[in-house]
Chain A
Amino acid sequence: MSKHHGEIYRYVLRVTGRRSDADDLSQETFLRAFRAYRSLPPDANWRAWLFAIATNLCRNHFRGQSRRRLAYAQVSVGARERQEEGPEHVALGREVGQVVDTIVGRLPLKQRLAFVQRKVHGLDYEAIGESLQCSAESARAHVFQALKKIRRALDGTEKEPRA
């Protein structure tokens, strides 16, 4: 089971952007999985199940984080600046890979979770939908919206003049 730890770590890191969170949440994923794996049917898709646990933990993590922020109103200036900075600005003068990486980190959470699961880890939409508690079609729509946002950011403009 823990052979999947590397990719769960990378998944959480891509979603949270912090090594400490990736460390904590990836470990927590496997501890939870270890407690519950015996109740899984033998033909269950273990990998998708681990991603679902990690996804749930990520969502709880961000929920808790926003609660803490509200409670203490301690959003750092740097963080706020990063949030306020529109995706269209980041394309300027940076490598495409870096930009993609940065934009992925700024996608709305559901889109980010769906996008990373699909495009980085290759999970099918059915599994992604289950992890996000939505339909496979909604999962596909999240990925589509994420790709559109990334492309627009690369383009450097929200609305592009078209023929």
Chain B
Amino acid sequence: MSQRAKSCVEIEPDLVAAATGEAEPAQSRRVSDHVGDCPPCRREFEQYRTIDHEVGRLASEGSEAQAVARSRERLEARLFDLRSRLVAYEIFPSAFGDILIARSEQGVLLVEYLRGHGRMAIKESRLTGAPGIEAVPVPGEVERFHRELRDYLDGRTHRLTWPLDFRLARSAFHRKVLEATAAIPYGAVMSYRGLACEIGRPEAVRATAQALRWNPLPIVVPCHRVIGSSGALTGYAGGKTTRKQRLLTLEGVPTVRKRDDFEVQRDAMYVLAPGEHEYCLPTCPSVDPFPRGGVLFSVRGRAEAQGLQPCGACRPDLHPLTPAQH
């Protein structure tokens, strides 16, 4: 068996580079000098050039055009489907424990108080196993919402104007309840009964409360502003009312502890009867202290920010509730 000359072996990488257009000028010169004296290497050089030329043909855009177009069509359909299922989420620490915020293309679809930390927490999240949802942790994707939520919890902002996606609402009825709840203003409370009346289902008080128990968007859809007719906080996010009390206190709603629950001090809040445009003192003879469908405001300014006028009979503007009453 013949042996290749050492110079031929050594020049081969340069020869390949030169034939395929990847050589530096110095390499090209070395190859040029070598192949001038070495016919077998010249032949190899030509072969590599032929290969390079043929490979260039393989790269031509036109090949497989129809198959590519068909595949692309299927890809577009699958991407469309994925886009509708894909949900980006992130978990943030807060004074209320770890909070998960998830968003779809339409908007925020889940704000969740997590039990536990890390992997276990996400396993127990409502995102896991939710039909038609593919949840992906994406750093930064919900940063804006986290920032605004933090501002809200620190009392720096009173409104969260987020695009919302109600797909995790369990029924059309639940969605209706959530939409009505979203309209309750900052610093105000309403009763479950009142909310049921508001959506035209006065008999469905417990169903209304259940809809709020499963509220996928607590804080943003302020279910903490819905309380029992007695003033008791009753429940929050399927658990204890401590968080609810903290949120109400943050909004200036006066509460007192009552055994293992809290109670809103209705006699320290302004009253708006349903259908009225005037707000009253809780002692006004023209209204019940917590009328069905009515709203209680902690501060006059919040009532007036809703475009309401003070009642001409009890004149809350002339006899405002004092801080002591709060």
Interface positions of A (Cβ within 8 A of B): 2, 5-6, 9-10, 13-14, 19, 22-23, 26-27, 30-31, 34-36, 38-39, 96-97, 100-101, 104, 119-122, 144, 147-148, 150-151, 154-155, 159-163
Contacts and interface: CB of A to CB of B under 8 A. Distances in A.
B74 A162 contact: no
Contacts of A148: 12, 16
Given A31-B75, A96-B54, 17 more contacts: A2-B75, A5-B72, A6-B61, A6-B72, A14-B58, A22-B67, A27-B71, A31-B78, A35-B134, A36-B136, A96-B50, A104-B55, A120-B55, A151-B47, A154-B50, A163-B5, A163-B8
Nearest to B52: A119
A147 B48 contact: yes
Nearest to A11: B59
Contacts of A120: 55, 58-59
Interface residues of B, number: 47
Interface string B62-95: 0110011011101110110011001010000000
19 contacts: A2-B76, A5-B68, A5-B75, A10-B68, A13-B67, A27-B78, A38-B141, A97-B54, A97-B57, A100-B54, A104-B55, A120-B58, A151-B44, A159-B1, A161-B1, A162-B2, A162-B8, A163-B38, A163-B40
A2 B82 CA distance: 14
B71 A101 contact: no
Contacts of B59: 10, 119-122
Contact of A31 (B44, B54, B71, B79): B79
Contacts of B70: 23
B131 interface: no
Contacts of A97: 54, 57-58
Contacts, number: 111
Q: Which residue, of B8, B16, B51, has the highest number of chain A Cβ atoms within 10 A?
A: B51
A27 B5 contact: no
Contacts of A14: 58
Contacts of B138: 38-39
Given A5-B68, A10-B63, A147-B51, A162 B4 contact: yes
A155 B50 CA distance: 12
B140 interface: yes
A154 B47 CA distance: 8
A147 B17 CA distance: 10
Interface of B: 1-5, 8, 12-13, 16, 20, 38-40, 44, 47-48, 50-52, 54-55, 57-59, 61, 63-64, 67-68, 70-72, 74-76, 78-79, 82-83, 86, 88, 134, 136, 138-141
A147 B79 contact: no
A34 B39 contact: no
A100 B55 contact: yes
Given A27-B74, A119-B52, A154-B51, A144 B13 contact: yes
A119 B67 contact: no
Nearest to A24: B71
B68 A6 contact: yes
Contacts of A121: 59
Contacts of B140: 38
Nearest to B47: A151
A35 B82 contact: yes
Closest 8 CB pairs of A and B: A162-B4, A161-B2, A100-B54, A119-B55, A120-B59, A23-B71, A97-B54, A27-B75
A101 B13 CA distance: 22
B58 to A, nearest CB: 5
Nearest to B8: A162
Given A2-B79, A26-B75, A162 B68 contact: no
B145 to A, nearest CB: 15
